Chain A
């Protein structure tokens, strides 16, 4: 190597080197005193254009800081980095392999693209100097590590946060970054992955086929029986019409009154059914005596379809149309909730309550800390089913006897030959029903996070 060696004894040169070191990422935060000591062990070299500073596989002895000029840094074969070749300039640090223990080798080939000045620092000497000030050493190494990670990890956004876990000072900022990634960036990453597969496009095609067939059959070709059915275009126009032809659209307040009365009935019925059904189910599963006395009656009544109760409910609850409808929704929910809760208690491994009893738990403690959490997955399955059947029976009840509500809308629209409104009612029912069961599912996932995690680890999908 034809390097021009220059002594660093002079004070001005020393100042120059300290300033250079301060401009680099790894050494920026060090004290003047420490930088001065590093300057002593450093040598400034001039490299002519085209000179190879080191080759892949060379023993790594020195760390270089570029003082002027341009150096081409090309990673060797097998390196898994996005940028294999980069050009570095003033203030960049190359040759960090010299800081590694156990006589490491170079991973890249560096060539001077023009006449350059390099500050050369012996790796082992630098480590010795840094060894006297562990806090500073940690800072330098951490920043080097960050640089290395930027070189060798795939997406740039990951490199900004994945700092090696060292030091307390940076912990706060690091935690903030990590949560960022988990939230939005991860979500966006998943979205982009999803968009790369065929699933979303097939979904669009599926919907296009469905609505296209419906549209063509009912509105374009007027085929056979389809002619009498309102087409999707007709329904959409009516649904979004400020002056609806048949009196019901997103602009009419009546629409929301109907939605709200249905939701209110579901809410009341579901709440009563849960408040009664969960305790009854827990006791059915927990106490054999209670089960053997109560369950036969339960089983006798259960085969009677809830909808067969409609006339009797009207006879029994005379106070207007409201109570019978709520009663039917409640009854349907109650069966589902109580039965699933009972199954949930029965699904608990018998060893758990026994173990708790052996450890001195009281009956109440076992009930509170073993039976209830153990039955929770089944309870929430039951609640989801219960919301579904509540809507199911509510619609029938409203169709037969109701003054407001979506089932009532559907039935009266049929009787009064307002066909597009029937479809509006059906779609609205579907949306509202879906939202309510999604809410119950979310509440369940929130309350049983241990189970969600278990499923995520054990499940195939």
Chain B
């Protein structure tokens, strides 16, 4: 062994130590800030500060939450919402990714569909809720449709943008070396678009959670549809609001936050696995 090896090991050890202390500092500060935030919230809620005074204090939230953890109804709401999110999300990917790729690769198809797409895109997904309820036979399918719409436009736009930003020289050199159209699609377009597909999926996942919550609240709280049709966390929140159990509203909000965070983490993890060439950067 040469003398350079231990020196290098020492150096990396030292930088790792420095990084470690930076991480420790960050964790310490994060804990401090979240604790201070919760304390301020508790204090503000108890001392009736403006606005915060009307929100339930964290202690009351915790007191309501703990018994709920063993309540099967609460977990059924989790299941219901997750199922709806997943349905809408998967349909958005299944339809959106091929559509985006087709628009990016076929000029005629792009000219034909993109203007219509652009006209429909600015309409917020939730504005579709009543129309969806009228059109689809069951409440479940209309919620799924609105959830699908929420992710669909983001997915298509991201795939399209990713495919269009590919350098033309890649295509030119591939074709000049005898690549077929399929080769170009499989070896250039698909890998180049994959990162933006995952960006679109992550953003789309966030929007689907938003949409599901609102759709559940509107269809549950609108009064037109029978409320017994199916729980879900959005309906859980709305029901707590109707029943004046305000701490339970916050429980619902935090639960959705956790659920949303878990789902985007999963997508990020899958994205890292599927695009290994981006990891070195």
Contact present for B217 and A228 (CB under 8 Å): no
Contact with A391, one of B124, B238, B258 (Cβ below 8 angstroms): B124
Q: Which residue of B lies closest to A406 (CB)?
A: B127
| Neighbouring B residues of A314 by C-beta, 8 Å | 241
Contact present for A308 and B253 (CB under 8 Å): yes
CB of A460 closer than 8 Å to a CB of B: yes
Tell me the minimal C-beta distance from B62 to chain A in angstroms. 15
CB of A76 closer than 8 Å to a CB of B: no
Contact present for B210 and A305 (CB under 8 Å): yes
Known: A293-B33, A311-B249. A305 touches B134 (CB 8 A): no
Q: What is the bound-complex CA distance between A433 and B233, given in angstroms?
A: 29
Contact present for A207 and B126 (CB under 8 Å): no
Contact with B along A402-438 (1 / 0, CB 8 A): 0000110011011100010011011101110110010
Q: What is the bound-complex CA distance between A425 and B137, given in angstroms?
A: 22
CB of A66 closer than 8 Å to a CB of B: no
| Neighbouring B residues of A393 by C-beta, 8 Å | 210
Residue total for B at the interface (Cβ-Cβ under 8 A): 71
| CB-contacts of A11-45 with B (<8 A) | none
Q: What is the bound-complex CA distance between A364 and B23, given in angstroms?
A: 29
Mark the stretch among B9-17, B47-55, B88-96, B176-184 that contacts chain A.
Answer: B47-55
Tell me the minimal C-beta distance from B121 to chain A in angstroms. 8
Q: What is the bound-complex CA distance between A430 and B249, given in angstroms?
A: 31
Known: A198-B111, A229-B134, A308-B252. A392 touches B124 (CB 8 A): yes
Contact present for A206 and B113 (CB under 8 Å): yes
Contact present for B134 and A311 (CB under 8 Å): no
Q: What is the bound-complex CA distance between A436 and B113, given in angstroms?
A: 23
CB of A225 closer than 8 Å to a CB of B: yes
Contact present for B246 and A422 (CB under 8 Å): no
CB of B204 closer than 8 Å to a CB of A: no
Q: What is the bound-complex CA distance between A167 and B78, given in angstroms?
A: 80
Q: What is the bound-complex CA distance between A342 and B110, given in angstroms?
A: 35
CB of B191 closer than 8 Å to a CB of A: no
CB of A310 closer than 8 Å to a CB of B: yes
Contact present for B115 and A206 (CB under 8 Å): yes
Tell me the minimal C-beta distance from A394 to chain B in angstroms. 8
CB of B164 closer than 8 Å to a CB of A: yes
Q: What is the bound-complex CA distance between A207 and B211, given in angstroms?
A: 28
CB of A63 closer than 8 Å to a CB of B: no
Contact present for A225 and B129 (CB under 8 Å): no
CB of B6 closer than 8 Å to a CB of A: no
Please list 6 pairs of residues, one from A and one from B, whose beta carbons are closer than 8 Å in the complex, sorted by A's number: A292-B33, A296-B33, A304-B257, A308-B253, A311-B249, A315-B241
Taking Cβ atoms with an 8 Å cutoff, the residues of B that contact A are 25-26, 29-34, 37, 51-52, 54-55, 108, 111-116, 119-120, 122-131, 133-137, 164-165, 167-168, 206, 209-211, 213-214, 217-218, 221-224, 233-234, 237-238, 240-241, 246, 249-250, 252-254, 256-258, 260-261, 264
Taking Cβ atoms with an 8 Å cutoff, the residues of A that contact B are 198-199, 202-203, 205-207, 209-210, 225-226, 228-229, 289, 292-297, 300-301, 303-312, 314-318, 391-396, 399-400, 406-407, 410-411, 413-415, 419, 422-423, 425-427, 429-431, 433-434, 437, 460-461
